[in-house]
Amino acid sequence: MGGIDPLYILPEEYRPKLIITDGEDIPLIDLLPITNRDSSDPKALQELADKVGDACKTWGFFTVINHGVPSGIRKKIMEVSRKFYALPLEEKLKVRRGDHNTAGYHNDEHSKDIKDWKETFDFYVNDGMLMPASHEPDDPEVVPWFTPWPHNFPEFRETCQEYGRECEKLFFNLMELVSMSLGLPPKRLQGYFENQASFARLNHYPPCPNPELVLGTGGHRDPSALTVLAQEDIEGLDVQRKSDKAWVRVKPIPDSFVINVGDILQVWSNDLYESVEHRAVVNSEKDRYSIPIFFHPSHDVVMKPVDELVNEQNPAKYPEYKAGKWLNLRMYNNYKKHGFYMKMTDFKIEA
Ligand SMILES: O=C(O)CCC(=O)C(=O)O
Ligand SMILES: [Fe+2]
């Protein structure tokens, strides 16, 4: 990436300093009772759901082990990600994302209106799913969205697709636990993902000569229901602690996944669980790779607080919004530099 282009340099208040390093970390949750559900009793499942609920409420983030995703496929996707990023730029640009189809390679994301120090490749978990043709609320057109896969690299495509399928099983287990934690039937939210618009992102953060002036991924909240993130042993993910807004560095635990609440779950739970601000820092020596999957409902799902969770005392805090339009709007805004950063709370109904 060469010397530092001013486009990357953050205003003072957003620079990555003031990290809490007192050993505190986000909750660690062992998913064995659900990944091994045939030999678990229902009480163990409910206890697990309660732990997930507590973590969603207090942090909006947690780490999971015994999650059921085979370590082989995870190693393999990290390997093909490295191979992809080692290709010449002109090769990567052949699968550049388009204006209306957000998958593919890009190196111009603006998380908080400032350029991120990273390059990414996005792919759809359910390739070819229907999405709104534009973010405009009155435009009814829907079109299939496809991932532009690199030619002559079948191993890349196959590995990415298999990884998506394996993580999907983990995601559905997590959604069951989340539903139970909210007092809902375990499969209450599952139908919303029938034609899911979920996408995975291979993040590559190259070393930066001035890591204190930039962010790999600027502070943001995820537009998903839940995000499932794999990182390796090079740390870099910071989460904003809800109690005092301090940044806490998430310590990598081998073979674990970091899970976080996204905007959609914030709306479904009517703010009981919140989508929390997080960011990724870079360093001056080592390349860092991470892979989040943003699990997102089908485009035509009407996002609103779940009926069973609202009543006269606790009215809906959000208006209805189509899930596909929300994603389209967020993606459209993330890649432009135009003076504001969009959050779900901007849509809140005034109390
Ligand atoms: O790289 C990381 O650890 C976090 C990336 C992230 O938050 C994102 O891509 O949405
Ligand atoms: Fe994120």
- Write the CB contacts of 18 (distance below 8 Å, at least 6 apart in sequence): 246, 247
* Ion ligand 2 residues within 5 Å by Cβ: 222
Dihedral sign from CA coordinates of 94, 95, 96, 98: positive
Atom of ligand 1 nearest to the CA of 237: 3
Residue 19: the pLDDT is: 63
Question: 198 CA distance to ligand 1 centroid (A)?
Answer: 15
CA 207 from centroid of its chain's CA atoms: 22
Query: Which residues' Cβ are closer than 6 Å to ligand 1?
Result: 201, 203, 217, 222, 229, 231, 236-237, 278, 280, 290, 292
Residue 244: the pLDDT is: 86
Task: Name the H helices within the chain.
Answer: 32-35, 42-58, 71-85, 89-93, 154-181, 263-268, 323-334
Instruction: Tell me the ligand closest to 275's alpha carbon.
Output: 2
Ligand 1 pocket, mutate which of 229, 260, 276, 293 (most atoms under 8 A from CB): 229
Residue 184: the pLDDT is: 98
Residue 111: the pLDDT is: 55
Residue 337: the pLDDT is: 46
CA 81 from centroid of its chain's CA atoms: 17
- 3-class DSSP assignment, residue 286: coil
- Would you identify the CATH topology of the domain 6-347? Jelly Rolls (2.60.120)
Per-residue pLDDT of the chain (351 residues; tens, 9 = 90+): 446 887 888 777 777 775 665 557 899 999 999 999 888 888 999 999 999 999 999 999 999 999 999 999 999 999 999 999 999 999 999 999 876 678 999 987 665 567 899 999 999 999 999 999 888 888 899 999 999 999 999 999 999 999 999 999 999 999 999 999 999 999 999 999 999 999 999 999 999 999 999 999 988 999 999 999 999 999 999 999 998 888 999 999 999 999 999 999 999 999 999 999 999 999 999 999 999 999 999 999 999 999 999 999 999 999 898 898 888 887 766 555 444 445 666 777 766
